A and B are shown apart, each in its own frame.
Chain A
Amino acid sequence: GAGVSQTPSNKVTEKGKYVELRCDPISGHTALYWYRQSLGQGPEFLIYFQGTGAADDSGLPNDRFFAVRPEGSVSTLKIQRTERGDSAVYLCASSLTARANTEAFFGQGTRLTVV
Protein backbone atom coordinates (compact mmCIF):
# COMPACT_ATOMS: atom_id res chain seq x y z
CA GLY A 1 0.00 0.00 0.00
CA ALA A 2 0.97 3.61 -0.35
CA GLY A 3 0.92 4.51 3.32
CA VAL A 4 0.86 3.09 6.82
CA SER A 5 -2.30 1.10 7.38
CA GLN A 6 -3.84 0.48 10.78
CA THR A 7 -6.72 -1.86 11.55
CA PRO A 8 -9.27 -1.69 12.92
CA SER A 9 -9.92 2.03 12.69
CA ASN A 10 -12.21 1.81 15.71
CA LYS A 11 -12.44 -0.80 18.44
CA VAL A 12 -14.87 -0.90 21.34
CA THR A 13 -14.19 -3.51 23.98
CA GLU A 14 -15.35 -4.35 27.46
CA LYS A 15 -13.15 -3.80 30.47
CA GLY A 16 -11.03 -6.86 31.13
CA LYS A 17 -10.97 -8.10 27.54
CA TYR A 18 -7.92 -8.65 25.34
CA VAL A 19 -7.38 -6.61 22.17
CA GLU A 20 -4.97 -6.65 19.25
CA LEU A 21 -4.22 -3.64 17.09
CA ARG A 22 -2.49 -4.14 13.76
CA CYS A 23 -0.08 -1.93 11.83
CA ASP A 24 1.07 -2.43 8.24
CA PRO A 25 4.06 -0.15 7.63
CA ILE A 26 5.21 1.23 4.31
CA SER A 27 6.96 -1.50 2.34
CA GLY A 28 10.71 -1.42 2.89
CA HIS A 29 10.57 0.63 6.09
CA THR A 30 12.67 -1.08 8.73
CA ALA A 31 11.70 1.12 11.67
CA LEU A 32 8.21 0.99 13.19
CA TYR A 33 6.89 3.04 16.11
CA TRP A 34 3.79 2.86 18.28
CA TYR A 35 2.38 5.93 20.02
CA ARG A 36 -0.69 6.50 22.17
CA GLN A 37 -2.67 9.71 22.11
CA SER A 38 -5.20 10.59 24.78
CA LEU A 39 -7.87 13.20 24.15
CA GLY A 40 -6.43 16.71 24.07
CA GLN A 41 -2.84 15.51 24.37
CA GLY A 42 0.06 14.96 22.03
CA PRO A 43 1.12 11.43 21.07
CA GLU A 44 3.24 9.58 23.61
CA PHE A 45 5.86 7.06 22.58
CA LEU A 46 5.22 3.43 23.49
CA ILE A 47 7.70 1.20 21.65
CA TYR A 48 9.79 1.02 18.51
CA PHE A 49 11.13 -1.78 16.38
CA GLN A 50 14.19 -1.88 14.19
CA GLY A 51 13.54 -4.91 12.05
CA THR A 52 12.03 -7.68 14.14
CA GLY A 53 13.41 -6.65 17.50
CA ALA A 54 11.92 -4.21 19.98
CA ALA A 55 14.78 -1.74 20.29
CA ASP A 56 13.11 0.47 22.88
CA ASP A 57 9.97 -0.44 24.82
CA SER A 58 10.45 2.14 27.54
CA GLY A 59 7.12 3.81 26.83
CA LEU A 60 4.92 0.79 27.46
CA PRO A 61 2.88 1.74 30.54
CA ASN A 62 2.85 -1.71 32.19
CA ASP A 63 3.10 -5.42 31.48
CA ARG A 64 -0.42 -5.58 30.10
CA PHE A 65 0.97 -4.04 26.93
CA PHE A 66 3.06 -6.03 24.49
CA ALA A 67 3.98 -5.64 20.84
CA VAL A 68 5.48 -7.94 18.24
CA ARG A 69 6.85 -7.68 14.74
CA PRO A 70 7.79 -11.26 13.91
CA GLU A 71 8.79 -10.86 10.27
CA GLY A 72 10.02 -7.30 10.35
CA SER A 73 6.97 -5.90 8.60
CA VAL A 74 3.49 -6.03 10.17
CA SER A 75 3.32 -5.27 13.88
CA THR A 76 0.65 -6.08 16.43
CA LEU A 77 0.11 -4.19 19.68
CA LYS A 78 -1.52 -6.41 22.27
CA ILE A 79 -3.32 -5.20 25.37
CA GLN A 80 -4.42 -7.66 28.03
CA ARG A 81 -7.07 -7.10 30.69
CA THR A 82 -8.05 -3.75 29.21
CA GLU A 83 -8.94 -0.89 31.53
CA ARG A 84 -11.00 2.21 30.89
CA GLY A 85 -7.81 4.27 31.11
CA ASP A 86 -6.48 2.46 28.04
CA SER A 87 -9.03 4.31 25.90
CA ALA A 88 -7.08 6.41 23.41
CA VAL A 89 -6.02 6.62 19.77
CA TYR A 90 -3.13 4.26 19.07
CA LEU A 91 -0.91 5.53 16.28
CA CYS A 92 1.64 3.62 14.29
CA ALA A 93 4.44 5.17 12.25
CA SER A 94 7.17 3.79 10.05
CA SER A 95 10.39 5.21 8.64
CA LEU A 96 13.06 3.99 6.28
CA THR A 97 15.52 3.60 9.12
CA ALA A 98 15.58 4.34 12.85
CA ARG A 99 17.99 7.23 12.51
CA ALA A 100 17.87 10.87 13.30
CA ASN A 101 16.51 13.23 10.66
CA THR A 102 14.50 10.48 8.97
CA GLU A 103 10.87 11.33 8.30
CA ALA A 104 8.25 9.16 9.99
CA PHE A 105 4.94 8.43 8.25
CA PHE A 106 1.91 7.93 10.43
CA GLY A 107 -1.16 5.78 9.97
CA GLN A 108 -4.69 7.01 10.69
CA GLY A 109 -4.70 5.35 14.06
CA THR A 110 -6.98 2.95 15.91
CA ARG A 111 -9.43 4.56 18.31
CA LEU A 112 -9.78 2.18 21.24
CA THR A 113 -12.70 2.63 23.62
CA VAL A 114 -12.89 0.47 26.72
CA VAL A 115 -16.36 0.43 28.28
Chain B
Amino acid sequence: SQQGEEDPQALSIQEGENATMNCSYKTSINNLQWYRQNSGRGLVHLILIRSNEREKHSGRLRVTLDTSKKSSSLLITASRAADTASYFCATDPPSNTGKLIFGQGTTLQVKP
Protein backbone atom coordinates (compact mmCIF):
# COMPACT_ATOMS: atom_id res chain seq x y z
CA SER B 1 0.00 0.00 0.00
CA GLN B 2 1.16 3.53 -0.63
CA GLN B 3 1.52 5.91 2.20
CA GLY B 4 1.92 9.24 0.50
CA GLU B 5 -0.39 11.60 -1.21
CA GLU B 6 1.21 14.04 -3.57
CA ASP B 7 -0.19 17.30 -4.68
CA PRO B 8 -0.62 18.36 -7.38
CA GLN B 9 -0.82 15.24 -9.52
CA ALA B 10 0.32 17.26 -12.52
CA LEU B 11 2.01 20.64 -12.87
CA SER B 12 2.84 22.63 -15.98
CA ILE B 13 5.03 25.74 -15.81
CA GLN B 14 7.24 27.91 -18.00
CA GLU B 15 11.00 27.66 -17.95
CA GLY B 16 12.45 29.95 -15.30
CA GLU B 17 9.48 29.65 -12.97
CA ASN B 18 9.58 27.83 -9.66
CA ALA B 19 7.82 24.51 -9.14
CA THR B 20 6.46 23.38 -5.79
CA MET B 21 5.29 19.86 -5.06
CA ASN B 22 3.77 18.66 -1.80
CA CYS B 23 3.71 15.29 -0.11
CA SER B 24 1.71 14.08 2.86
CA TYR B 25 2.21 10.80 4.68
CA LYS B 26 0.47 8.83 7.39
CA THR B 27 2.89 7.14 9.77
CA SER B 28 6.04 8.14 11.64
CA ILE B 29 9.27 8.16 9.66
CA ASN B 30 13.05 7.98 9.93
CA ASN B 31 13.43 10.19 6.89
CA LEU B 32 11.72 11.36 3.74
CA GLN B 33 13.32 11.22 0.33
CA TRP B 34 12.52 12.73 -3.04
CA TYR B 35 13.14 10.90 -6.31
CA ARG B 36 12.89 11.86 -9.93
CA GLN B 37 11.80 9.53 -12.72
CA ASN B 38 12.10 10.09 -16.44
CA SER B 39 9.91 8.20 -18.89
CA GLY B 40 8.60 5.76 -16.30
CA ARG B 41 11.90 3.96 -15.80
CA GLY B 42 14.78 4.33 -13.32
CA LEU B 43 14.45 6.47 -10.22
CA VAL B 44 17.13 9.01 -9.40
CA HIS B 45 17.64 9.99 -5.79
CA LEU B 46 17.45 13.77 -5.31
CA ILE B 47 17.57 14.51 -1.62
CA LEU B 48 17.03 12.93 1.80
CA ILE B 49 15.75 14.85 4.82
CA ARG B 50 15.87 13.25 8.24
CA SER B 51 12.97 13.39 10.66
CA ASN B 52 14.85 15.83 12.93
CA GLU B 53 15.55 18.26 10.08
CA ARG B 54 13.19 20.98 8.90
CA GLU B 55 14.79 22.20 5.71
CA LYS B 56 17.48 21.06 3.31
CA HIS B 57 18.98 22.51 0.14
CA SER B 58 20.77 20.93 -2.78
CA GLY B 59 21.53 23.15 -5.75
CA ARG B 60 18.19 24.40 -7.10
CA LEU B 61 16.25 22.07 -4.82
CA ARG B 62 14.80 23.03 -1.48
CA VAL B 63 12.98 20.50 0.68
CA THR B 64 11.02 21.19 3.83
CA LEU B 65 9.65 18.71 6.33
CA ASP B 66 6.94 19.28 8.93
CA THR B 67 6.60 16.13 11.02
CA SER B 68 3.77 17.61 13.08
CA LYS B 69 1.68 17.89 9.91
CA LYS B 70 3.25 14.81 8.32
CA SER B 71 4.04 16.75 5.18
CA SER B 72 6.95 17.76 2.99
CA SER B 73 7.45 20.05 0.03
CA LEU B 74 9.94 20.07 -2.81
CA LEU B 75 10.74 23.39 -4.45
CA ILE B 76 12.65 23.53 -7.73
CA THR B 77 13.81 27.05 -8.45
CA ALA B 78 14.50 28.53 -11.87
CA SER B 79 13.13 25.46 -13.62
CA ARG B 80 14.53 24.18 -16.91
CA ALA B 81 12.95 22.10 -19.66
CA ALA B 82 15.26 19.26 -18.54
CA ASP B 83 13.46 19.20 -15.18
CA THR B 84 10.42 17.70 -16.93
CA ALA B 85 9.85 14.38 -15.15
CA SER B 86 7.79 12.70 -12.46
CA TYR B 87 8.74 13.40 -8.87
CA PHE B 88 8.04 11.03 -6.00
CA CYS B 89 8.34 11.37 -2.28
CA ALA B 90 9.22 8.24 -0.33
CA THR B 91 9.17 7.66 3.38
CA ASP B 92 11.45 5.40 5.34
CA PRO B 93 9.38 4.10 8.25
CA PRO B 94 10.97 3.28 11.62
CA SER B 95 11.48 -0.40 10.70
CA ASN B 96 15.14 0.46 10.05
CA THR B 97 15.27 -1.71 6.95
CA GLY B 98 15.64 0.97 4.30
CA LYS B 99 12.35 -0.18 2.77
CA LEU B 100 10.63 2.82 1.14
CA ILE B 101 6.98 3.71 0.81
CA PHE B 102 6.31 5.91 -2.19
CA GLY B 103 3.64 8.46 -2.96
CA GLN B 104 1.81 8.51 -6.26
CA GLY B 105 3.97 11.23 -7.72
CA THR B 106 3.68 14.62 -9.37
CA THR B 107 4.21 14.91 -13.11
CA LEU B 108 6.04 18.14 -13.89
CA GLN B 109 6.17 19.64 -17.35
CA VAL B 110 8.48 22.61 -17.91
CA LYS B 111 7.78 24.38 -21.17
CA PRO B 112 10.71 26.03 -22.95
Contact = CB atoms under 8 A, between A and B. Distances in A.
A102 B98 contact: yes
Nearest to B39: A108
A101 B40 contact: no
User: Is the interface on chain B under 10, 10 to 19, 20 to 34, or 35 or more residues?
Assistant: 20 to 34
Interface in A35-74: 35, 37, 39-45, 48, 50, 55-56
A37 B90 CA distance: 14
Interface stretch (B12-20, B54-62, B68-76, B101-109): B101-109
A91 to B, nearest CB: 7
SS class, residues of chain B in contact with chain A: loop
Interface in A2-39: 31, 33, 35, 37, 39
Most central of A37, A39, A50, A105 by chain B CB within 10 Å: A37
A56 B101 CA distance: 14
B50 A101 contact: yes
Contacts of A106: 35, 42-45
A45 B4 contact: no
Interface of A: 31, 33, 35, 37, 39-45, 48, 50, 55-56, 89, 91, 93, 95, 97-109, 111
